[in-house]
Amino acid sequence: MAVDQRPDCPVQEDFDPLSEEFLADPYAVMAALPLDEAPVFYAPAIDYYVVTRYDDIESVFLDPDRYSAAAAQLPLVALEPEATEILLAGGHKPQPSMVSLDPPAHTRLRRPTSRAFTPRRVDDMKPRVRETLAALLDAVDPRAPFDLVQTLTFPLPATVIFSFMGVPEEDYAQLKEWCGHRATLAFGRPPAAEQVEHATSMAAYRAYLRELVARKADDRADDFASAMLAIHDEDPDALSQEEIASILFSLSFAGHETTNYLIGNVVRRLLEEPARWDEVVADPSLIPGAVEETLRFDTSVPAWRRVTKRAVTLGGVDIPEGSKLFLWLAASGRDASVFPEPDVFDPRRPNAKRNLAFGKGIHFCIGSALGRLEAQLGLEELTRRFPRLRLVEDQELTFHPNISFRGPQALWVQAER
Ligand code: HEM
């Protein structure tokens, strides 16, 4: 690909993370880019500066004074006025939740969330994760090929996070559907004709969570929503019920597709070289390393966003105030200055855990322990039950058209040969 040099700023006219070519294989696109010479470049197709080096991305995450989180969930296309009105009337603002807010608004939501999202609560999820895994895999007929996404990777994290939050089971399917609309609206390129439908779903999603909090207020249980309400009771001015609903809006989405795709990516990367799978079967102590290596090598959240609060220089490029940054986390995982031989998948890589897959700094992923736990327990159970698992041959993997959540939409496997 040619680099069109504008003053102080390389431009990649062809870089479009929503193109078919990119969705099918972003790592092939990455390999063809001159990232050594131009580690920061402007991509007119999305109107973002793309940041690819590990150190540059880390420095952005660690500097909330220079870089605002406001772009984190910003639609990539201008929305139709009708869709915008529906969103605003439904309480869905341009900075719709914690991950898009800067201090002090961010701190107001983050602090109580961290208080209620304790390591104990995550640890307590272990039996629930194991039970859910067993129930989902008991339903598999091992004699026939099955789609691991439908069977396991999609339902597991949804069930885990929704039950953690305190959502009644009969509402899981509806919430999952709303999450799909959210992914397209904030991270895809929805055509004008679809935007009203997405916006209407978003308003319904938010209204549902507000009602859930109101209902929980009169009917507490041992769940996250009730733990947040207990914090509200201590000091209603410090955390309103509306803010609790907003936090649930964060968790219901963040705890779901991220982990679905992580598990899909781990299993895919192990099975595409069957010797890798066999090695993990023979030595399950490799499982945490395999999960970590996948977060580096083929993360489920390949890009995150920021916007400059003032003019900055990043990777040698002068970037004006108010510019949007596409932090290409997937590229940070392939940065050879941090991860030697970055294109080799190695579950024993000593520093795989340095990956930036969960961000860093004040927005560092609250659910990292839960995401890792689900992926590790999932892999434990799969390798134990299906030691001879293989990919069904000649399947073409497809990926949801969005910039930030990536994993196979279906992964056909067979347990017996
Ligand atoms: C397993 C895969 C997961 C990945 C790769 C992932 C990745 C990320 C990333 C990149 C961020 C933004 C960090 C930043 O801006 O610095 C983030 C934030 C967040 N994640 Fe995760 N996440 C995962 C799982 C989860 C789970 C299971 C939860 C659930 C509870 C969760 C909840 C959150 C929340 C609430 C935030 C916003 C934190 C803030 O703004 O302060 N994530 N995550």
Give the integer Cα–Cα distance in Å for 160 and 374.
9
- Centre of ligand 1 to C-alpha 360, Å, is 10
179 lines ligand 1 (CB under 6 A): no
- Centre of ligand 1 to C-alpha 129, Å, is 19
259 lines ligand 1 (CB under 6 A): yes
CA atoms within 13 A on the CB side of 126: 6
H/E element holding 214? helix 192-217
- Cβ neighbours of residue 363 under 8 Å, at least 6 residues apart? 61, 69, 98, 99, 106, 110
Strands 48-51 and 324-328: parallel
- Cβ neighbours of residue 368 under 8 Å, at least 6 residues apart? 358
154 lines ligand 1 (CB under 6 A): no
- Centre of ligand 1 to C-alpha 371, Å, is 9
371 lines ligand 1 (CB under 6 A): yes
61 lines ligand 1 (CB under 6 A): yes
Which atom of ligand 1 sits closest to the CA of residue 109? 41
110 lines ligand 1 (CB under 6 A): yes
Which residue blocks in 315-367 are alpha helix, DSSP H? 329-332
300 lines ligand 1 (CB under 6 A): yes
Which tokens sit at 225?
């929503």
Which atom of ligand 1 sits closest to the CA of residue 113? 35
Statement: residue 395 has pLDDT above 60 = yes
Which tokens sit at 298?
């083929």
Ligand 1: which residue has its CA nearest to atom 31?
Answer: 367
Q: What is the pLDDT of residues 274-293, one digit of tens each?
A: 999 999 999 999 999 999 99
Give the integer Cα–Cα distance in Å for 269 and 263.
10
50 lines ligand 1 (CB under 6 A): no
Q: Is 68 helix (H, G, I), strand (E, B) or coil?
A: strand
Burial of 340 (0-12, 13-18, 19+ CB in 10 A): exposed
Measured CA to CA in angstroms, residue 198 lies from 173, 203, 354, 395 at distances of 16, 9, 36, 30
- Centre of ligand 1 to C-alpha 99, Å, is 8
Cis status, amide bond into 119, omega within 30 of 0: no
Give the integer Cα–Cα distance in Å for 98 and 73.
10
294 lines ligand 1 (CB under 6 A): no
Ligand 1: which residue has its CA nearest to atom 23?
Answer: 258
Mean pLDDT of 130-138: 97
264 lines ligand 1 (CB under 6 A): no
pLDDT at 2: 47
CB neighbours of residue 43 within 10 Å: 18
Beta bridge partners of 305: 326
Q: What is the pLDDT of residues 67-115, one digit of tens each?
A: 999 999 999 999 999 999 999 999 998 888 999 999 999 999 999 999 8
Amino acid, single-letter form, for residue 96:
P
CB neighbours of residue 221 within 10 Å: 10
The backbone torsions φ and ψ at residue 119, rounded to the nearest 5 degrees and listed phi first, read -55, -35
Which among 389, 393, 394 is positioned nearest to 152, based on CA atoms? Answer: 389
205 lines ligand 1 (CB under 6 A): no
Tokens 């003019």 belong to which residue? 311
Measured CA to CA in angstroms, residue 200 lies from 93, 143, 182, 206, 246 at distances of 14, 43, 11, 10, 17
Statement: residue 7 has pLDDT above 60 = no
pLDDT at 107: 97
Give the integer Cα–Cα distance in Å for 181 and 328.
23
Q: What is the pLDDT of residues 308-367, one digit of tens each?
A: 999 999 999 999 999 999 999 999 999 999 999 999 999 999 999 999 999 999 999 999
Ligand 1: which residue has its CA nearest to atom 17?
Answer: 365
| pLDDT confidence tier of residue 1, bands split at 50, 70 and 90 | very low
| pLDDT confidence tier of residue 135, bands split at 50, 70 and 90 | very high
pLDDT at 6: 55
- Cβ neighbours of residue 87 under 8 Å, at least 6 residues apart? 79, 93, 199, 202, 203
Which residue blocks in 272-334 are alpha helix, DSSP H? 274-282, 287-297, 329-332
Which tokens sit at 136?
């989902």
Mean pLDDT of 265-270: 98
Statement: residue 375 has pLDDT above 50 = yes
Ligand 1: which residue has its CA nearest to atom 40?
Answer: 99
Which atom of ligand 1 sits closest to the CA of residue 100? 40
Q: Average pLDDT over the chain, rounded to whole?
A: 95
Secondary structure letter of residue 38 according to DSSP: -
